[in-house]
Amino acid sequence: MEPVARWEPDSRGRLGRAALELFAERGFDDTTVEEIAAHAGVSERTFFRHFADKREVLFAGSGNLQTLLVDAVIAAPRTASPMEAVAAALESTGPFFEERRDFARQRQAVITANAELRERELIKMATLASTLADALRQRGVKEPAASLTAEAGIAVFRVAFERWITDSQRRGLSRVIRESLAALRAVTAEA
Amino acid sequence: MEPVARWEPDSRGRLGRAALELFAERGFDDTTVEEIAAHAGVSERTFFRHFADKREVLFAGSGNLQTLLVDAVIAAPRTASPMEAVAAALESTGPFFEERRDFARQRQAVITANAELRERELIKMATLASTLADALRQRGVKEPAASLTAEAGIAVFRVAFERWITDSQRRGLSRVIRESLAALRAVTAEA
């Protein structure tokens, strides 16, 4: 039987919440891993079992998001147009983020407040776009359609995500994504 | 009359070309300001009269590009739709880049080869998109149309620029931008 001290239910989740609380309170730069671990009631060693560094707490979900998007593009029906495949992929992230709405909102505030994190977030989004373009090319979509669809899709996602997080009516993310895509179609048609 | 040694015709242009040659040859990280100045036949002091550091040689044009785009969005006819205003702005950069085609191509290769420079370029593009969105809001365009138009416009620009630079038929940038925008319209309509 494990000693009680080693029994740490959901220490990863607790570390995430503790980190966001401290980042919001003191700023990202002025928060140490030691403080995050103490706030979560775990050891630093436990922190490093879950995350490489404090920035990783904010970006550890990127890999899951990327897998979710690529799998959905690949799984879209053969008859789906490139933008339909991307739209389905973006909308499929709804449940993933709805479960983490508070985390996502706090995370966004921390990132907006810090130039280095904003840059990291831009790189993450650019990587997502280029991975989506790869997935579309695997479906046989040619250039420049693949890159344009992927880039436009990520632009829709970013705008929709920002709206979803600040939406006082708490509409679902999938719905806000659909509305943003319709708005993109409207502005693009007028040129 | 100035002494001959001080007569440095187009030292800024020579420094730019010298820097790109060395970046291409040795890599960005392994090139020093001292080497760039020597290669251009000017003093380091002259280098620093024109550029804050070696990275600046690659990004000094960003401000001009931003001014060009924003002025064109503001100058677009009142009756122009948001995307028409952005399209006109993007196409207006044609002559600016046609004059610098070789520089632009070499610059792109240097940036593609270096992770730090790629990040800096992403930040530049994100800044351009948010400046374009500001200019659209000044024209009375609401959200999310302003952000979506600006983001989609910059996506079109990036894809078109990449195609223009590698285009064996040497079609003009303005034309490639128009074609890319038409391609975006086509993929967006199919969803």
User: Model confidence over B118-147: pLDDT tens digits?
Assistant: 999 999 999 999 999 999 999 999 999 999
Q: Say how far apart CA B106 and CA B94 lie, in whole Å.
A: 17
User: Model confidence over A121-140: pLDDT tens digits?
Assistant: 999 999 999 999 999 999 99
Residue B190 forms contact with A (CB below 8 Å)? yes
The confidence score (pLDDT) of residue A8 equals 55
Question: What is the secondary structure of A111-154 as a DSSP string?
Answer: HHT-HHHHHHHHHHHHHHHHHHHHHHHHTTPPTTHHHHHHHHHH
Look over chain A and give the mean of its residue pLDDT values, rounded to a whole number: 91
Q: In this structure, what is the dihedral angle of CA atoms B138, B160, A123, B121, given to the nearest 10 degrees?
A: -80
**Cβ A144–B183 below 8 Å, yes or no?**
yes
Q: Say how far apart CA A160 and CA B128 lie, in whole Å.
A: 20
One-letter identity of residue A146: A
Global pTM value? 0.88
Residue A189 forms contact with B (CB below 8 Å)? yes
CB atoms under 10 Å from CB of B138, counted, come to 12
Give the list of residues 6+ apart from residue B141 with CB closer than 8 angstroms, or none: B82, B149
End-to-end CA distance of chain B: 69
The confidence score (pLDDT) of residue A168 equals 80
Residue B73 forms contact with A (CB below 8 Å)? no
| Residue in B145, B155, B191 nearest the CB of A155 | B155
pLDDT at residue B3 is higher than 50: no
Q: Say how far apart CA B62 and CA B83 lie, in whole Å.
A: 22
DSSP-based three-state secondary structure for A189 = helix
User: Model confidence over A83-125: pLDDT tens digits?
Assistant: 999 999 999 999 989 988 888 999 999 999 999 999 999 999 9
Give the list of residues 6+ apart from residue A85 with CB closer than 8 angstroms, or none: A72, A73, A76, A136, A139
- Contact residues on chain B for A145, CB-CB shorter than 8 A: 183, 186-187
Chains A, B: CB contacts within 8 A come to 104
Instruction: Please report the ipTM that was assigned to this predicted complex.
Output: 0.86
Average pLDDT over residues B22-50: 95
Domains and CATH numbers, chain A: 8-57 (1.10.10.60), 61-189 (1.10.357.10)
| C-alpha B46, offset from chain centre | 24
Work out whether the CA dihedral A144, A173, A165, A179 comes out positive or negative. positive
pLDDT tier for residue A63 given thresholds of 50, 70 and 90: confident
CB A126 within 8 A of CB B115: no
Q: In this structure, what is the dihedral angle of CA atoms A27, B132, A180, B180, given to the nearest 10 degrees?
A: -130
pLDDT tier for residue A191 given thresholds of 50, 70 and 90: confident
Find, among A35, A64, A62, A63, the residue nearest to A47 by Cα: A35
The confidence score (pLDDT) of residue A4 equals 39
Please report, for residues A70, A112, B22, the alpha-carbon distance to residue A76 in angstroms, rounded to integers and kept in the order given.
Answer: 10, 33, 47
